[in-house]
Structure 1
Amino acid sequence: MRTEHLSTHSLAAHTNRTEHLSTFYSVSSFSAMVIAGDRRGVRIAVVGDGGTGKSTLIAAMASGSFPDSVPPVLPPTRFPDNLFPDSVPLTLIDTPSSLAKQGTLVEELKRADAVVLTYACDEPVSFERVSTYWLPELRKLEVKVPVIVVGCKLDLRNENQLVSLERLTTPIMQQFTEIVTCVECSAATLYQVPEVFYFAQKAVLHPVDPLFDYKRHALTDLCVRALRRIFVLCDHDMDGALNDEELNDFQVRCFNAPLQPSEVAKVKTIVQQKVPEGVNSIGLTFPGFVYVHRMFLKKARTETLWSVLRKFGYDNDLKLRDDFLPVPSKQASDQSMELTGEAVEFLNGIFRLLDTDKDRALQPAEVDKLFDTAPKSPWNDAPYKDAAEKTDMGYISLNGFLSQWVLMTLLDPTSSLANLIYIGYNGNPAAALHVTRRRSVDRKKQTTLRNVFQCYVFGSKHSGKSALLHSLLGRLFSNNYTPTTVEQYAANVIELKRARVTRKFLILREIPEDGFSNFLSNLEFLASCDVAVFVYDSSDEYSWKKSKDLLEKVVRQGEITGYITPCLLIAAKDDLTPFPRAILDSVKVTQQLGMEAPIHVSMKLGDTSNVYNKIVNAAEHPHLSIPESEIARKKKQHNHLLHHSLTFALAGLGAAMAVAGLTAYRARSVRKKTTA
């Protein structure tokens, strides 16, 4: 599947060969920089044993003639951007072969975009060294770039010992998949000298590896997913096939050149012969669409497939480029990212479209199908897996569906925006997300405009933190205990019944007891927190003391860093016999800190005491639940006393000045009368 062994084809013959399917992708004046992935240059290191012709090959390429003599190592040789069709500057790096200059060689290999590995066609030992030394050495140095194996001095090969290049190199190409092609050339006759560097540059600008799986001999899963997204975007009427008009629109969009009706008919005829299901009565189906692209890849026309992918925003990793993802920037760490109303409405529509049985729930297979046009399903791994509400059958509800997107937007806005685009969001990407107001401003204004609240959940082991998260997701209580070793999330919709029902998203973030110290070492860890809750087992003395200690540390950290956070105490396991001292101490602590009394819950009995609404209320009115330590209280009292004293002093000074002014006025009056 990799670029074929080139021993007889010239560059002109290779680039201009005609194929039946070439009419589908007419050569046109599309931007070379789009094709090249916006690269500013390609750097190719030429390596190999001494005497194999490295320097002579570079010199012949530069001068267009066979050099009489060359120095042991040439300086970097730069070529203009119009050398090859991709219009990207090329730099060739000659490398030393001696062990004394091994450091220079390694440095150049680390900087290279591709490697040309040479051997001498008239020296069989140098070819053996390609597989016994050079290729293993490149792997040892972790040089992960395309490799072009080049046989130099073809004109000197013994004609009595002819062996086809394919037969010679197939074994090493199977062993070393980093080899993209093998070429034979002659600097003396200039035979296939340009081809060497054309294919080296092409391997960088239009790599095969992201597109083709050598083990399966098929397109990679990432490539198929990208093509499926492109197909869906081009299937304007959503009938599962590209009709003639849609095919023509696709051609014009990618190559600025329309297709003639006869050309469209020819393409469909060829596809139908090879892939019967690739064409139906409407037009080209997705299997046919994939077949066309696979054929170009099979014919080493990687640049054609890449031009399509890059036109639709893909980079060399087959993910959307950064310029396709205009994520707004946060100006402060206490801001966060939310979906706009437009994006939420789009997601509601997507859910309705997938929910074909109208049961307001999506099966796992339906969710996976949603992400068929994305590189992968983003919700199969932590922290999103099991972080949203599901039915007893394991189906995700509308609330759970939206909550997953809200969570992803909060934690990874770039991934959220990318996946919105992958699944078909065609609005202005810049209008999908927005940055919220700073939390510090919300607390000063004593209100917030946020729709998403993040709550940190602290507490000791066995305190009931995980049960609090599970209950938010509507899961039944379980007596089976699994210790939390990494942070966990739970996200759901909270309905607040007021003059009208208000829907807010609540995200609970469970902090493991063992990870609290590392968490605390980050001075900005409270910046993204709307409410901190401290859960303790109301029947256990240690659990209460631990939560009290955590509360005090968080309060102190907030006062030091300025990220002052509303706090609530939650007395869990209220169905058990309470620890008497904990009851008294907890009430005392909340009174001292100016907090609400502890909220008693029993997840086992299903008694939540409306705790999630109380958390959201605390987030909406942050000034009401901010605890105040003794130190902060004394500081405030001191500042208040200082302010009062200063006000009194100023008032006294003002009175004194008034008396002095009155006295002076009276004195002037007496003098006037005396003078008169």
Structure 2
Amino acid sequence: MPAGGPISGARTTVRIVVVGDRGSGKSSLIAAASAETFRPDVPPVLYPTRLPADYYPDGIPIIIIDTSSSLENRGKLAEELKRADAVVLTYACDQPSTLNRLSSFWLHELRRLEIKAPVIVAGCKLDRRNEEYNLSVEMVPLMQQFREIETCIECSAANMLQIQEVFYFAQKAVLHPTAPLFDQETQALRPRCIRALKRIFILCDHDMDGALNDEELNEFQENAVLADPLLQSFFKNNNSEPLTSISGEQVKCFNASLRPDELVGVKRVVQEKLPEGVNDLGLTLTGFLFLHALFIEKGRIETTWTVLRKFGYNDELKLRDDYLSIPSKKAPDQSVELTSEAVEFLKGIFSTFDDDKDGVLRDSELEDLFSTAPESPWDEAPYKDAVQRTPLSGLSLSGFLSEVGRLVKWALMTVLDPAESIANLIYVGHNCNAASALHITRSRSVDRKKQQTERNVFQCFVFGPKNAGKSALLMSLLGRPFSENITLATGEQYVVNVVDQHMGNKKTLILREIPEDGVKKLLSNKESLAACDVAVFVYDSSSEYSFKGAVELLSYVARKGEESGFGMPCLLIAAKNDLDSNSTVNKDSAKVCLDMGMDAPIPVSVKERDLNNVFYRIVNAAGHPHLSVPETDIGRSQKRYRQIVTHTLMYLSVGAAATFIGLAAYRAYAARKNSSS
């Protein structure tokens, strides 16, 4: 079972800002919580107050900020609110006008300032109220109108009544937030919470029979919190009252097994409320989800959060970075690929979820595959349109898995975002560490010295002026037919597919289109070319203007590569070869390639499907990183300068050595002469 971090995640403090009308009891509330006794002589505004880590069971210290409600201090109040983790909004129980001000001013002011922190409404001076009062009559409509309110509570500093509870609920709203897990309007678990709990259920269902038997349920609770005495009491008595007690012993994570009668109580409550939640084998997924909805409904949201954090989840219901243990690249020009072990795992996953065994993952099957992930990673850019989809509206074996098992879409994710790749591997059931799933490639600078590469995935940057044919080239990698009405990319886009090499060898090729107006921004980062294995420069072979634009881009990129030390093989691609060729362009393009030490331009016609083996040649260039690296005039000048300096130093070294030898010989001669005389 995975080990999680502390119950509160990585947070080290909780900052709570107390606001409200003048005289509503803010300072007395803070002072009473700090001193644990009533103080009649409290100043109007207190200095920041610290409640120590052992004040509440979560073990996280609290910083409480008192505020002034005067007009001249509104600027400082706004600054404090924007730094708040939680807000305690006070009113005086004996002053109805302060209660009305919550909805007429304070809550609207928080929205105006775009404060996203949870709000705890605290009615102070409860001891001064004389008449009977039903809190829910006022507060339920208020909470329905302002969903940012987590809890409403009334207290008395003079009587020390529910003072600690105010800041406990504020801390709880930060450490165990309701919004990511539960939709208050529909009174149901949110989709991302359901997905996370489904993954946890599957991990705990060791015999994979679709239910948690007593042994599996016990193991789950030993790693979670079902041994909470208050929860045990609830399951025994089927108590319908909210569980709101906060004593330390009641929120600890106990490591004791539930007794048989307690297990029966858990299952009985679920079965009474939801018959399909329990079957002959044990607690079903439906029952498991219902159980957590019940915890939240009964005020025990920390129970569900403890479970989630034990299994590595953060507040966004994604796996924490420390849980993923991503290996770090040592050099910018290294890349990350899937290991053969990860590829074999994904082959098995593909087969498992291909229910109809038609070689295609349909949309419903893909949704089922990623039902334990926060969402499907393929639904958004840059992955959504990066591979060719089949007419069946599914993802074929050649799209989701390459013909030799390389997952081209997953390969793209691994190159662009290794953390996201390993996280999704874990979401869909990979239970190994990151080192067994990801491989860090050798630095490309080392590959160039060795004149070979061991990479299986190459990233190609596609440059070129507008209307040169870049997008058409990308679509042709996916095997899509030419279209006159092709939608031109407004930003960067990626496509990925497998390219056959000699002797049955296959490589994964990623094409990344760089818009002409985005080149300077891209190259403003000195390490941007480190990710590029090969660059191609596309131009319309019938247009002299297009060719000049491509050559300008080539010169600019080549110079940036020389300056950064991340030079790469480059190719010129003469697109639209079906149009009348321009003789000047043909002659000048050959000269440019000769001058810069590059291969001759590659003529292609996407329209006539005459690609001239262009993708094979791109991969071949990437596989030989010491060849086709262009030299600019500046680069050649610098190279000649370095050669001159090297030769000069060599001559100086030889001259110095000769002088030293001559001086040593003279000294030896003089010494012999002196000794003979």
Could you state the TM-score of these two structures normalised by the residue count of structure 1?
Answer: 0.89
Mapped contact 2:198–2:372 kept (Cα < 8 A):
yes
Corresponding position: 1:101 with 2:104: no
Q: Name the SS of the counterpart of 1:92 in structure 2.
A: strand
**CA–CA separation in structure 2 for the residues paired with 1:510 and 1:662:** 68
Of 603, 606, 630 in structure 2, the residue corresponding to residue 603 of structure 1 is 606
Counterpart of 1:77 in structure 2 is 49
Mapped partners of 2:523, 2:12: distance in 1: 43
Query: Is the Cα contact below 8 Å between 1:32 and 1:86 reproduced in 2?
Result: no
Partner letter of residue 455 of structure 2? Answer: R
Q: Assess if the C-alpha contact under 8 Å between 2:3 and 2:311 holds in 1.
A: no
Q: What letter corresponds to residue 73 of structure 2 in structure 1? A: K
Question: What is the CA–CA distance in structure 1 between the aligned matches of 2:34 and 2:648, rounded to whole Å?
Answer: 85
Residue 385 of structure 1: how far off its partner (Å): 0.9
* 1:3 equivalent in structure 2: none
3-state SS of 1:468 partner? helix
| C-alpha distance in 2 between matches for 1:283 and 1:176 | 40
Residue equivalent to 1:424: 429
3-state SS in 2 of match to 1:118:
strand
Residue 340 of structure 1, CA deviation:
2.3
Aligned residue among 131, 136, 147 for 1:177: 147
Answer yes or no: is 1:497 the counterpart of 2:502: yes
CA distance in 1, matches of 2:145, 2:354: 48
In 2, the alpha carbon distance for the partners of 1:40 and 1:648 equals: 64
1:539/1:578 contact within 8 Å kept: yes
Superposed, which structure 2 residues align to 1:63-462 within 5 Å?
63-159=35-131, 162-255=132-225, 256-401=255-400, 402-462=407-467
Amino acid at match of 2:557: V
1:621 deviates by 0.7
Which shifted more, 510-519 or 532-541? 510-519
CA–CA distance in 1 between the matches of 2:457 and 2:671?
71
Task: Give the equivalent residue in structure 1 for 2:473.
Answer: 468
Structure 2: distance between partners of 1:317 and 1:657: 72
> In 1, distance between residues paired with 2:181 and 2:656?
83
User: Is contact 1:296-1:302 (8 Å) kept?
Assistant: yes
Moved more, 310-319 or 31-40: 31-40
- Selected match of 2:518 from 487, 492, 515: 515
Q: 1:453 aligns to what SS in structure 2?
A: strand
Offset of 1:666 from its aligned partner?
A: 12
Computed over aligned residues only, the root mean square deviation of the Cα atoms, in angstroms, reads 2.8
1:307, CA displacement in angstroms?
0.8
For residues 279-312 of structure 1, what are the alpha-carbon distances to aligned partners after superposition, in whole Å with 9 as ceiling and x for unaligned? 2232222111110110110001111111111111
Between the aligned partners of 1:352 and 1:178, the Cα distance in structure 2 is: 45
Write the distance in 2 (CA, Å) between the matches of 1:208 and 1:623: 56
The 10-residue stretch of structure 1 (513-522 or 140-149) with the greater mean CA deviation from structure 2: 513-522
Contact 1:33 1:87 in 2 (8 A): no
- Give, in angstroms, the shift of residue 230 of structure 1: 0.7
Q: C-alpha distance in 2, partners of 1:152/1:511? A: 60
Task: Return the alpha-carbon distance in structure 2 between the equivalents of residues 479 and 134 of structure 1.
Answer: 58
1:377 Cα shift? Answer: 1.0
Query: Which residue number in structure 2 is paired with residue 479 of structure 1?
Result: 484
CA contact (8 A) 2:189 2:293 kept: yes
Residue 472 of structure 2 contacts residue 482 of structure 2 at CA under 8 Å; is this kept in 1? yes
Taking the TM superposition and a 5 Å limit, the aligned residue runs for 1:42-61 are 42-61=14-33
In structure 1, the residue corresponding to 2:64 is in which secondary structure?
A: strand
Deviation of the 1:449 alpha carbon: 2.0
When residues 157 and 36 of structure 1 are mapped into structure 2, their CA distance, relative to the original with a 3 A threshold, is same
What is aligned with 1:22?
none
Question: What is the CA–CA distance in structure 1 between the aligned matches of 2:19 and 2:660, rounded to whole Å?
Answer: 92
Q: Distance in 2 between matches of 1:39 and 1:668?
A: 79
C-alpha distance after superposition, 1:639-674 (max 9, x if no partner): 4456556667777888899999999999999x99xx
Alignment of 1:18-29 (within 5 A): none
Deviation at 1:436, TM superposition (A): 2.2
Identify the residue that residue 625 of structure 1 maps to in structure 2. Answer: 628
1:32: how far off?
Answer: 11
Matches within 5 A, 1:560-639: 560-639=563-642
- The whole-number CA distance in structure 2 between the counterparts of 1:122 and 1:434 is 67
What are the Cα deviations for residues 177-234 of structure 1, in whole angstroms up to 9, with x where unaligned? 1111111122222222222222222222211111111222211111111111111111
- Gap runs ≥5 in structure 2: 226-254, 401-406
SS at match of 2:528: coil
Instruction: Determine if contact 2:495/2:512 at 8 Å carries over to the other structure.
Output: yes
Identity %: 58
1-structure distance, mates of 2:662, 2:48: 90
Deviations 1:563-611 (A, max 9, x none): 2111011112222221111111111111111111111222222222221
**Matched AA of 1:176:** F
Specify the alignment match of 2:236 in structure 1: none
* Distance in 1 (alpha carbons) for counterparts of 2:647 and 2:113: 72
Q: 1:70 Cα deviation (Å)?
A: 1.4
Q: Is the 8 A contact 1:461 1:483 kept in 2?
A: no
Answer yes or no: is the 8 Å Cα contact 1:271–1:291 preserved in 2: yes
* Matched-pair contact (CA < 8 Å) for 1:335–1:528: yes
In structure 2, how many angstroms separate the alpha carbons of the residues matched to 1:242 and 1:193? 41
In structure 1, C-alpha distance between the alignment counterparts of 2:666 and 2:124, rounded to whole Å: 111
CA contact (8 A) 1:335 1:439 kept: yes
Relative to structure 1, the CA distance from residue 651 to residue 176 in structure 2 (aligned partners, 3 Å threshold; closer, same or farther) is closer
- Contact preservation (8 Å) 2:451, 2:625: yes
SS at match of 2:496: strand
1:326-365 per-position Cα deviation (integer Å, ceiling 9, x unaligned): 1122233222222222222221221121223333321122
Unaligned runs of 5+ in 1: 1-29
Go from structure 1 to structure 2 and tell me whether the alpha carbon gap of 1:166 and 1:562 turns closer, same or farther (over 3 Å shift).
same
What residue identity is the alignment partner of 1:75? Y
Question: Matched residues in 1 for 2:30 and 2:664: separation?
Answer: 97
CA distance 1:519–1:197, shift in 2 (3 Å): closer
Larger deviation, residues 60-69 vs 396-405: 60-69
Q: Is this contact kept in 2: 1:33–1:39, CA < 8 A?
A: no
Q: 1:662 to 1:298 in 2, by over 3 A?
A: closer
In structure 2, C-alpha distance between the alignment counterparts of 1:414 and 1:429, rounded to whole Å: 9
Q: Partners of 1:652 and 1:192 in 2: how far apart? A: 91
> Is the Cα contact below 8 Å between 2:17 and 2:64 reproduced in 1?
yes
Contact 1:113 1:145 in 2 (8 A): yes
Q: Is the 8 A contact 1:466 1:510 kept in 2?
A: yes
Comparing 301-310 with 655-664, greater Cα deviation is found at 655-664
For normalisation by structure 2, the TM-score amounts to 0.88
Name the count of aligned residue pairs: 640
Q: Kindly tell me: are residues 651 and 251 of structure 1, through their superposed partners in 2, closer, same or farther at Cα, counting changes over 3 Å?
A: closer
Distance 1:524 1:649, change over 3 A: closer
1:246 to 1:659, Cα distance in 2 relative to 1, 3 A: closer
Give, as a single letter, the amino acid of the residue that structure 1 aligns with 2:536. V
**Residue 244 of structure 1: CA displacement?**
2.3
